[in-house]
Amino acid sequence: MAATLPCSSEVVVVDDGSTDATVQVAAERGVRVVCLCRNLGIGGAVQTGLRLAYREGFDCAVQVDGDGQHPPSEIHRLVARLSQPDLPDIVVGSRRLEQRGYQSTPARRLGQNWLRLWLRAVCGLRVTDPTSGFRLYGARALALFQRVYPYDFPEPESLAVARARGLRLVDQPVEMRPRQGGRSSIAGLQPLYYMIKVTLAVALAYARNRGRKVAVSLDGLRPSLAAVGRAGGGSADRD
């Protein structure tokens, strides 16, 4: 991964109560591991990584799911968007733009399309892959999400929060893979419950945060990246 990036980087694994050999394997490879005191779920685990990146002065962080769907070789595509004159605050890795790699199941794509339309209707936000957890967070996004980050439905809800707070979000085509391990937390009748609840959560998140801006000083930040991966415990990934 480091060879393809234009900046220095550090890999951090957030161990969210995993019961496998995550900590041991990461330690053997010299990777930094943050072990949570108990299973916090995806929202708490992701915020832990973003808070670490913010407090240690990284100028951006990339979220990588622990189920193997996000190839580290694709991270450079997200980082490349930082060279644009109009610097984005969040870069969302999208499977939909180029239709490369794994595209998920028809049922999940239906739900993703609904959330895409809902975010556009409620927030005026155009994103093609709203449930993607493969994301880059810039300085202003780190400053925001180290303080407040959704816990229940963090992927679409965090987009609504960012939009309401005036952050700039862009899509970037990436290739993803099928799940390499773990299980989804959405099964059986849960997808219907998930869609109803996340639809309400997105609207409420946008309404609560609208008009509240993010202030952050960019002085002292170093040109470096923290790649934050999450190894889950009781709460499995949704996508």
Q: By C-alpha distance, which of 127, 9, 160 is closest to 79?
A: 9
Task: For residue 204, give every residue at least 6 positions away whose Cβ sits within 8 Å of its Cβ, in sequence order, or none.
Answer: none
For residue 126, pLDDT over 90 is answered with: yes
Domains of the chain (ranges plus CATH)? 8-231 (3.90.550.10)
What span, in angstroms and rounded, lies between the C-alpha atoms of 27 and 42? Answer: 22
**What pTM value is reported for the model?**
0.85
**C-alpha span between 112 and 107 (Å, rounded):** 9
Quick one: average pLDDT of 221-230?
55
Q: For residue 204, what pLDDT is reported?
A: 95
Q: What is the pLDDT of residue 193?
A: 83
Q: How confident is the model at residue 19 (pLDDT cuts 50, 70, 90)?
A: confident
Q: What is the pLDDT of residue 181?
A: 63
**Residue 235: its pLDDT value, please?**
37
Which of 18 and 207 is assigned the larger pLDDT?
Answer: 207
Structural Rg of the chain based on CA atoms: 17
Question: Could you tell me the two tokens for 119?
Answer: 């975010």
